[in-house]
Every structure is written in structure tokens, then in C-alpha cells.
């Protein structure tokens, strides 16, 4: 294994420095995703054809969020 360059050392140092705040950043990101205002797609009234599964939709949003996934990967890597 070769010696790390200055830019690699700086990136590694930044990664390790941020380790203590990763859990907080993940919680904040989850709140940002879950606090999206709902838009009423059924403007005319009546019954909606869309099946409402709010919990499953929220978990799907968390799972597809790149920033949240990168925070999980960063925590697991360290």
C-alpha cells in the first residue's frame, strides 16, 4: 500500500471528523424528506383511485435518497 496524498489525507480527516455528527445528519435528513407538504391531487372531490400507503411511501423515499444512503455508507465504512 502506497503513501496517501495530501488531498486523500484531507478527505479522510474530514470523513473521520464528521463521524460524530453522522447520526444527527441522518435524523435531520429523514425529517427533511418526511416533512414534504402534501399536494391535493383530487381537486374535484370524490374518491381517489390512488391507494394511500403513507408509511410505505415514506420508507421508499428514504431508501431512494442518495444523501441518506451515503450517510449510512459513511457510518458503516468507519
Instruction: Quick: pLDDT tens for 11-59.
Output: 888 888 888 999 999 999 999 999 877 666 666 766 666 667 888 989 9
Q: In this predicted structure, what is the pLDDT of residue 65?
A: 96
Residue 34 within a domain:
no
Q: In this predicted structure, what is the pLDDT of residue 42?
A: 64
Residue 69 within a domain:
yes
Count how many domains the chain has: 1
Residue 67 within a domain:
yes
**pTM of the entire predicted model:** 0.69
Q: In this predicted structure, what is the pLDDT of residue 2?
A: 81
Residue 65 within a domain:
yes
Residue 66 within a domain:
yes
Residue 47 within a domain:
no
Exposure string (b/e) for 14-46, b if CB count within 10 Å is 16 or more? eeeeeeeebeeebeebbeeeeeeeeeeeeeeee
Residue 5 within a domain:
no
Residue 1 within a domain:
no
**What's the domain range around 65?**
52-78
Amino acid at each position: 500500500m502506497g503513501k496517501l496524498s495530501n488531498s486523500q489525507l484531507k478527505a479522510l480527516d474530514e470523513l473521520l471528523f464528521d463521524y460524530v455528527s453522522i447520526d444527527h445528519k441522518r435524523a435531520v435528513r429523514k425529517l427533511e424528506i418526511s416533512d414534504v407538504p402534501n399536494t391535493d391531487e383530487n381537486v374535484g372531490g370524490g374518491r381517489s383511485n390512488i391507494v394511500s400507503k403513507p408509511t410505505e411511501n415514506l420508507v421508499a423515499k428514504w431508501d431512494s435518497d442518495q444523501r441518506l444512503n451515503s450517510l449510512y455508507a459513511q457510518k458503516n465504512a468507519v
